[in-house]
Chains A and B, each alone.
Chain A
Amino acid sequence: MKKYLTVLICCVAIGIGLNVQIKYIHDQPKKISIALTNIEALARGETGNGNCRFFGSVDCPYSGDKVLYVE
């Protein structure tokens, strides 16, 4: 009985460990992607004026900045 319990606990521990590892690996591209998006946003000059995005030639109605588009 003890043997079975030990094996069971080991299996659960390995399972949890694997799950954490898989989740970490799975989240990595997302994190990199978000970071890259942020860098791109900075490079394109996100204005930060409410819903006006990036820099362009459209007048942001809220701020008067020239932006790519308004949301």
Chain B
Amino acid sequence: MKAIFSVVLLMGLGCTMTSCTAVATAEAVVFPETVSLHATEKAIKDSVYLKYPFRLRLNDDILAVIDIHPAVDYIHTFDYKTMRHKQSFARRGEAPSEFLSAENIRIDEYGDVWALDANKNKIVKLAKQTDEQPVQIDLDKELVRALDFDRLNDSVFIVPDYTGQHRISFVSSGGDILRHAFHIPSSTKKMNAMVLAQAWRSFISYNSHNGILGMATQLGQVLEIYDIKRERVIKVIGQEYGTPHFVNRGGYAVPTGIMGYSDIHVGEEHIYALFWGNTFDDVRKRPDDHQEGGRFVHVFDLKGNPVRQYLLDRCITGFHIDEESGVVIGLDVNSNQPIVEYAFNLD
């Protein structure tokens, strides 16, 4: 009887400890409130197959979407009002004008679409018309796999990469490195810089009005906020509990922790980050039951204080935030109609 009681007690303790760990991971940042949002599907009218849509930008009713696993083209544009397909760009292939990958897109004030091809080490301004030639910028050879990019201004890009010696590089419109800034906020000593950079792979967003750069780790729950104009660190959120977990396997970082953030947007007053939170152990055990994407949009003020958490009814991989009209456009990769819209109110 005693033995049975002990076994039951031990099992109970085990269960409690396991669930505590899960809660601790999910509740690493405490938000004053959680608001549930419900999606409205924006059905694409034409037969455009998006296998794994990952990034989207909206500019003057033109919605640009990146498919990171395309059959033919990486980038597609749609008329957001009618959801009619307009154009497809960035053909997959090895020819000089073709793409081997597409990490992100940015739309400038002239409506031009810029894309980063990390495998070709290029930033490309896509041609609007079929008779135009795209502008290709060969990135400095010192950069080891540019991971993301944003525009500092008309002639400078902000680029994080795998060198690990610095957090970001400022790159000219000719592709040359102008200077570097900041360091990976890791307390791990004696770790190969490149391995550390792989583990700390982050997505970036820069707001040129307030000069704030946000960086969100994909393999952990760390959000870095930098003041680029004064070149100083404002806050690193999650440095104590959310650093990426990984093992160094032959000079490569193999993630062992969680899928953290997959997109970030620095707005005029708030920073929005899309959080997943599922562990790689769960993904490995049940890859077929797993849904790609995150259901949490974490909202911080520009000083890094938690403001609110939105709980979505869909798992999304990337988003576009329109703060003025209170709209989140998301990409639900698990659905045949991946473009969804959420209305939110920050008042």
Contact of A66 among B69, B145, B254 (CB under 8 A): B69
The contact string, 1 if C-beta is below 8 Å from chain A, for chain B 218-258, is 11000000000000000000000000000000001111000
Query: A57 near B54 (CB under 8 angstroms)?
Result: yes
Interface set of B (CB-CB < 8 Å, partner A): 52, 54, 68-69, 101, 118-119, 145, 147, 198, 201, 218-219, 252-255, 259, 262, 280, 283-284, 287-288, 290, 292, 317
Judge whether A11 is part of the interface by a CB distance below 8 angstroms. no
Query: B101 near A55 (CB under 8 angstroms)?
Result: no
User: Which A-chain residue is minimally distant from B218 (CB atoms)?
Assistant: A58
User: Could you list 10 A-B pairs, sorted by A, with CB under 8 Å?
Assistant: A57-B52, A57-B218, A57-B317, A58-B259, A59-B201, A66-B52, A66-B69, A68-B283, A68-B292, A71-B254
Contact of A61 among B118, B254, B290, B317 (CB under 8 A): B254
Query: B252 near A56 (CB under 8 angstroms)?
Result: no
Query: A69 near B101 (CB under 8 angstroms)?
Result: no
Query: B68 near A66 (CB under 8 angstroms)?
Result: yes
- Hey, which chain A residues are within 8 Å of B259, CB to CB? 58
Query: B119 near A55 (CB under 8 angstroms)?
Result: no
Min C-beta distance of A3 to chain B, whole Å: 56
Query: A59 near B317 (CB under 8 angstroms)?
Result: no
SS of B interface (majority): loop
With A64-B119, A64-B145 in contact, do A57 and B283 touch (Cβ < 8 Å)?
Answer: no
SS of A interface (majority): strand
How many A residues face the partner with a CB closer than 8 A? 19
Counted as pairs of residues, one from A and one from B, with CB atoms less than 8 Å apart, the total is 52
Bound Cα distance from A57 to B67, whole angstroms? 11
Query: A57 near B254 (CB under 8 angstroms)?
Result: no
Bound Cα distance from A54 to B68, whole angstroms? 13
With A57-B68, A59-B198 in contact, do A68 and B287 touch (Cβ < 8 Å)?
Answer: yes
- Hey, which chain B residues are within 8 Å of A59, CB to CB? 147, 198, 201
- Hey, which chain A residues are within 8 Å of B201, CB to CB? 59
Within 8 A of B (CB), among A43-71: 44-45, 51, 53-59, 61-62, 64, 66, 68-71
- Hey, which chain B residues are within 8 Å of A27, CB to CB? none
Query: A57 near B262 (CB under 8 angstroms)?
Result: yes
Bound Cα distance from A42 to B23, whole angstroms? 35
Bound Cα distance from A57 to B292, whole angstroms? 9
Query: A70 near B145 (CB under 8 angstroms)?
Result: no
Query: B284 near A71 (CB under 8 angstroms)?
Result: yes
Min C-beta distance of B108 to chain A, whole Å: 25
Min C-beta distance of B147 to chain A, whole Å: 8
Bound Cα distance from A69 to B68, whole angstroms? 16
User: Which A-chain residue is minimally distant from B100 (CB atoms)?
Assistant: A64
9 tightest A-B CB contacts, nearest first:
A61-B252, A70-B254, A69-B283, A55-B69, A66-B68, A61-B198, A69-B280, A69-B284, A64-B119
- Hey, which chain A residues are within 8 Å of B317, CB to CB? 57
Most buried by B among A40, A56, A64, A68: A56
With A45-B69, A53-B287 in contact, do A61 and B101 touch (Cβ < 8 Å)?
Answer: no
